[in-house]
């Protein structure tokens, strides 16, 4: 009997192995930087976001705060020099004995013993860039200043070059343990080059696949139900999953009169129909126009307005606490309002992309993903930008961001599709970039075929279906007793899912029984030894 029991447990453990802690752990990156700014610059947060694409845990620390323990615990060391400054000896000397790989970006690379590229030369107004991996040449007029190493070796692998007056010079290269990128800013377009080159730094085997989505934007109680139905039906007929950014309340800016989605039965029925046929609901705030914090970001006084630093910090803490409370209330109210109407949001989009890093802390309580642009300013949500691919920036506290990357149809433009093509061009340099856009249903379906054709013209494109990715995205209890809980989404539906679910219960039962039986045998053994003594 005992033999059969043990063999049964061995069989279950063999069929359903448990992942070890080592398999679950991510590698650690120490991201340190030099800057004259008091707060972490936006380009550093952009770099943090780019690094997070590679399943690493990043610690962001200013160069003067780096400790020996931080260096010892890191698997990768990334340094970003935004301003010219003498570096602490603990950083430069310890890096020469660093066991992992070293990435140097921007200024001050010459101070690292492992760097052998010679003095850095600043290059201004570079008219064109060439990516060596693909051979593609591209013009990015926003990239004004870059740095180039003055000396290369025969075994250096050049990843990106720039060209001025028919003369080429290296901008990104690696040699053995050292990787260098001559970026001054990472919010001017250089981030596309670096995003792809980092695959070489991390020796990543990411396949060339472009996650794509179209988000129907600004769906409010005042939206035209028939126009929305026609646009949504276009996706359904072509079996293309799509997203719907929904706000349950709209406010007349002139009269302050509120219009509720619950009172717009035709629109509500359209949304419920679209949700049942491939459309995923994204919570897009509670009301539009929304409160000042959600729409305009925080209005923060400058430190100069205070007599001392302590008063400023107290003021700042109070203000950020107020923002976090406001954000949590917005999340709860939005989710409850939508869910009570049978609309179950699977993710969140910040209204007008103006959240500070403090506000981001409130969202992971409810959602595991977020859409749209990101705020790269810890305080004022005005320094926004877009990432080239899916990432998990450290300031999102575990959430995954799906960026919007090629803009939207601007009906005031003479050639809106051409405008989107221009934004698409640098994204194609990144082997696994996200190709996404937002679309307003009120403009009808006229532009939609061209938008879809543009996205599907890219090789290795895969439409994002949040209904298959997010099984349970909401972690909350609604006030409505008759509201469906999103836990229904993780309950088994197909026969195979039900069978696996039942099997997992049986496995859990036997594992528990085995554990109890083992403890029982140990207790009996102890009693026997005690009697023998």
Q: Could you please report the per-residue DSSP string of 441-452? A: GGG-SSSHHHHH
Q: 135-139, 260-264, 431-435, 466-470: lowest mean pLDDT where? A: 466-470
Q: 214-218, 236-240, 351-355: lowest mean pLDDT where? A: 351-355
DSSP structure string for 323-377: HHHHHHHHHHHHHHHHHTTT----EEE-GGG---HHHHTTGGGT-SEEES-EE--
pLDDT (tens digit per residue) in 336-367:
999 999 999 999 987 655 677 888 888 888 99
Three-state secondary structure call for residue 293: helix
Average pLDDT score, the chain: 83
CA dist 85 → 36, 43, 81, 92 (Å) = 9, 17, 8, 13
Q: How far is the C-alpha of 53 from the C-alpha of 402, rounded, in Å?
A: 11
Q: Pick 29 or 294 by higher pLDDT.
A: 29
Q: How far is the C-alpha of 214 from the C-alpha of 25, rounded, in Å?
A: 33
Nearest to 450 by CA among 472, 419, 495, 428: 419
- Which whole number is the average pLDDT over 118-135? 92
Residue entry with tokens 């399943």: 55
In this prediction, residue 195 carries a pLDDT of: 97
State the burial class of residue 4 (Cβ atoms within 10 Å of its Cβ: 0-12, 13-18, 19+). exposed
pTM: 0.81
Q: How large a percentage of the chain has pLDDT more than 70?
A: 82
In this prediction, residue 69 carries a pLDDT of: 93
pLDDT (tens digit per residue) in 78-93:
999 999 999 999 999 8
Residue entry with tokens 């999340």: 331
Three-state secondary structure call for residue 258: strand
Is pLDDT at 143 greater than 60 in this prediction? yes
Residue entry with tokens 């977020």: 370
Is pLDDT at 6 greater than 70 in this prediction? no
pLDDT category at 329 given cuts 50, 70, 90 is confident
- HSE-up of 282 (CA within 13 Å, CB side)? 25
- Catalogue the E-assigned strands of 239-313: 242-246, 249-251, 258-260, 279-283, 287-288
In this prediction, residue 500 carries a pLDDT of: 60
In this prediction, residue 1 carries a pLDDT of: 42
Q: Which of 1-15, 197-211, 378-392, 442-456 tops mean pLDDT?
A: 442-456
DSSP symbol at 396: G
Cα 235 to chain centroid, rounded: 25
pLDDT category at 272 given cuts 50, 70, 90 is very high
Q: Pick 356 or 399 by higher pLDDT.
A: 399
pLDDT category at 319 given cuts 50, 70, 90 is confident
Is pLDDT at 211 greater than 80 in this prediction? yes
Nearest to 182 by CA among 216, 135, 144: 144
Burial 498-509 (b: 16+ CB within 10 A, else e): eeeeeeeeeeee
Helix (H), strand (E), coil (C) string for 169-227: EEEEEEECCEEEECECCCCCCHHHHHHHHHHHHCCCCCCCCEEEEEEEEEECCCCCHHH
Residue entry with tokens 């409010």: 220
Residues 6+ apart with CB under 8 A from 189: 140, 142, 143, 426
Is pLDDT at 499 greater than 70 in this prediction? no
- Which whole number is the average pLDDT over 269-284? 96
Q: 18-27, 157-166, 340-349: lowest mean pLDDT where? A: 18-27
Residues 6+ apart with CB under 8 A from 224: 441, 442
Is pLDDT at 98 greater than 80 in this prediction? yes
Q: Within the chain, how many helices (H) and strands (E) appear?
A: 15, 24
Q: How far is the C-alpha of 95 from the C-alpha of 84, rounded, in Å?
A: 19
**What is the β-pairing status of strands 249-251 and 258-260?**
antiparallel
In contact, 441 and 228? CB cutoff 8 Å: yes
pLDDT category at 533 given cuts 50, 70, 90 is low
| Degrees, nearest 5: CA angle 177-179-181 | 170
Question: Which residue pairs from 483-490 have beta carbons closer than 8 angstroms and sit at least 24 positions apart in sequence?
Answer: 483/336, 483/339, 483/340, 484/339, 484/342, 484/344, 486/339, 486/344, 489/344
Q: How far is the C-alpha of 244 from the C-alpha of 267, rounded, in Å?
A: 13
Is pLDDT at 318 greater than 70 in this prediction? yes
Tokens of 412: 């005031």
- Which whole number is the average pLDDT over 3-21? 34
In this prediction, residue 79 carries a pLDDT of: 98
Is pLDDT at 415 greater than 50 in this prediction? yes
Q: Pick 256 or 122 by higher pLDDT.
A: 122
pLDDT (tens digit per residue) in 47-56:
999 999 998 9
Phi, psi of 160 (to 5 degrees): -150, 135
Is pLDDT at 310 greater than 70 in this prediction? yes
CA dist 322 → 290, 319, 327, 328, 381 (Å) = 16, 5, 9, 10, 15
In this prediction, residue 477 carries a pLDDT of: 53
In this prediction, residue 71 carries a pLDDT of: 93
Q: Pick 120 or 299 by higher pLDDT.
A: 120
- Which whole number is the average pLDDT over 454-471? 89
How many CB atoms within 10 Å of residue 2? 8
DSSP symbol at 132: T
Q: How large a percentage of the chain has pLDDT more than 90?
A: 56
In this prediction, residue 292 carries a pLDDT of: 42
Cα 233 to chain centroid, rounded: 29
CA dist 445 → 81, 232, 491 (Å) = 48, 9, 36
Three-state secondary structure call for residue 82: coil
- Which whole number is the average pLDDT over 261-278? 96
């Amino acid at each position: 009997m005992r033999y059969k029991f043990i063999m049964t447990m061995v069989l279950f453990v063999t069929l359903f192995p448990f992942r070890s802690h080592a398999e679950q752990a991510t590698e650690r990156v120490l991201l340190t930087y030099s800057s004259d700014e008091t707060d972490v610059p936006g380009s550093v947060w952009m770099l943090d976001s780019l690094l997070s694409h590679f399943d690493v845990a990043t610690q962001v620390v200013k160069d003067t705060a780096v400790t020996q323990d931080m260096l010892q615990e890191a698997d990768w060391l990334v340094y970003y020099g935004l301003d010219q400054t003498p570096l602490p000896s603990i950083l430069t000397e310890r890096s020469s004995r660093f066991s992992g790989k070293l990435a140097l970006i921007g200024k001050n690379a010459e101070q690292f013993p492992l760097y052998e590229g010679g003095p850095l030369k600043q290059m201004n107004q570079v008219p064109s860039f060439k990516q060596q991996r693909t051979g593609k040449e591209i013009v990015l007029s926003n990239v004004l200043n870059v740095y180039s190493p003055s000396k290369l070796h025969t075994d250096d692998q050049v990843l990106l070059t720039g060209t001025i007056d028919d003369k080429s010079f290296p901008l990104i290269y690696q040699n053995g343990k050292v990787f260098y990128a001559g970026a001054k800013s990472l919010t001017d377009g250089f981030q596309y080059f670096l995003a792809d080159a980092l695959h070489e730094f991390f020796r990543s085997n990411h396949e060339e696949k472009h996650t794509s989505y179209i988000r129907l934007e600004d769906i409010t109680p005042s939206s035209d139900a028939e126009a929305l139905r026609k646009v949504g039906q276009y996706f359904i007929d072509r079996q293309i999953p799509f997203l719907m950014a929904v706000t349950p309340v709209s406010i007349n800016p002139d009269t302050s009169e509120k219009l509720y989605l619950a009172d717009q039965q035709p629109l509500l029925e359209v949304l419920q129909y679209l949700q049942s046929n491939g459309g995923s609901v994204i919570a897009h705030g509670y009301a539009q126009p929304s409160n000042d914090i959600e729409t305009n970001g925080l209005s923060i006084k400058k430190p100069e307005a205070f007599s001392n630093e302590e008063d400023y910090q107290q003021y700042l803490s109070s203000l950020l606490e107020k923002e976090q409370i406001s954000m949590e209330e917005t999340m709860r109210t939005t989710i409850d309002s939508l869910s009570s109407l049978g609309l179950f949001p699977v993710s969140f989009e910040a209204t007008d992309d103006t959240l500070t890093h403090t506000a981001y802390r409130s969202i992971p309580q409810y959602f595991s993903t977020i859409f749209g642009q990101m705020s790269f300013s810890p305080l004022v949500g005005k320094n926004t930008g877009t990432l080239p691919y899916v990432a998990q920036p450290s300031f999102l506290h575990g959430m995954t961001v799906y960026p919007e990357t090629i803009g939207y149809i601007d009906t005031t433009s003479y050639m809106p599709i051409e405008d989107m093509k221009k934004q698409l061009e640098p994204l194609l340099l990144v082997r696994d970039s996200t190709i996404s856009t937002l679309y307003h249903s009120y403009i009808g379906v006229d532009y939609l075929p061209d938008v879809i054709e543009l996205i599907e013209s890219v090789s290795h494109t895969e439409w994002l279906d949040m209904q298959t990715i997010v099984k349970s995205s909401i972690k909350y209890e609604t006030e409505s007793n008759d509201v469906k809980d999103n836990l229904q989404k993780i309950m088994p539906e197909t026969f195979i899912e039900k069978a696996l679910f039942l099997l997992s219960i049986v496995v859990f039962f036997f594992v528990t029984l085995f554990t109890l039986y083992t403890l029982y045998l140990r207790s009996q053994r102890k009693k026997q030894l005690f009697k023998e003594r």
